Structure 1
Amino acid sequence: MFAVLKTGGKQYKVQAGDVLRVEKLNAAAGDKVQFNEILMVGSTLGAPLVDGACVQAEVIDQIKADKVLTYVKRRRKHSSQRTRGHRQQLTLLRVTDVLENGADKTGVKAAVGARTKVESAEKPAKAKKPAKEAAEA
């Protein structure tokens, strides 16, 4: 059975045993992660997501993509030029399981991007003082 999942702003068609290169995730090598944004499982099409479906994967490694070089040259009487390089950080995954339902009962942590802000439950939110009390103090 195959599934179409969404992560890192891209969509991937996967099935058990596939190896993927996705945008960097907050996970170490050997961790199991679960993708909950599933657009399609087999012949079941989501609107926009399939409820209760998930794809589980094991993190193989954190890698970098090939270097992309850009060359900028100013024309005419300016003799300036610049070469810049960039290597995108990726996560290498092996898909282990595609589940049509029961995603909330698996106990596997959700796949979260490396740059996504995750609010910690340990930090209580600061209570703001009402404007009247702040003005009097």
Structure 2
Amino acid sequence: MYAVIKTGGKQHRVSEGDLLTVEKLAGSKGDSVVFDDVLMVAKEGEIRVGKPVLEGAKVVGEIVAQVKGPKIYVFHMKKRKGFHKKTGHRQQLTRMRIKEISI
């Protein structure tokens, strides 16, 4: 059984027990998170697709850790002017384990 959920502006295909990394969600380690934006559920050959979401379907996950993504370097430069600037960014992420998929 698997489901397609929408979180953080992205769609993720998840199954029970999967470890998933998504955009930062509020909560701390051990907290439970419920995703109500379930776009599709497949169970034993039967596929149910929402328009756009399935009514009554939900996916429950548990937060494993709050982490940071890899460092992204941004470099700005203006030619012939002697101007350059280097900055960096690390995205805040939430790592979670999917506990339950219900229709």
Q: Which bracket does the TM-score occupy, shorter chain normalised?
A: over 0.9
Which of 60, 75, 78 lines up with 2:79 in the alignment? Answer: 75
Higher relative helix content: 1
Higher-Rg structure is 1
Gaps of 5+ in 2: none
* Larger RCO (alpha carbons 8 Å, 6+ apart): 2
TM-score between both structures, scaled by the size of structure 2: 0.94
Alignment of 1:11-90 (within 5 A): 11-42=11-42, 43-76=47-80, 78-90=81-93
Matched AA of 2:85: R
CA RMSD of superposed structures (Å)? 0.6
- Residue identity over aligned pairs, in percent, reads 42
Runs of 4+ displaced beyond 3 Å = none
Q: Which protein has the bigger strand share?
A: 2
How far apart are the structure 2 equivalents of 1:17 and 1:68? 30
Structure 1 residue runs without a partner (length 5+): 101-137
Total equivalences in the alignment: 99
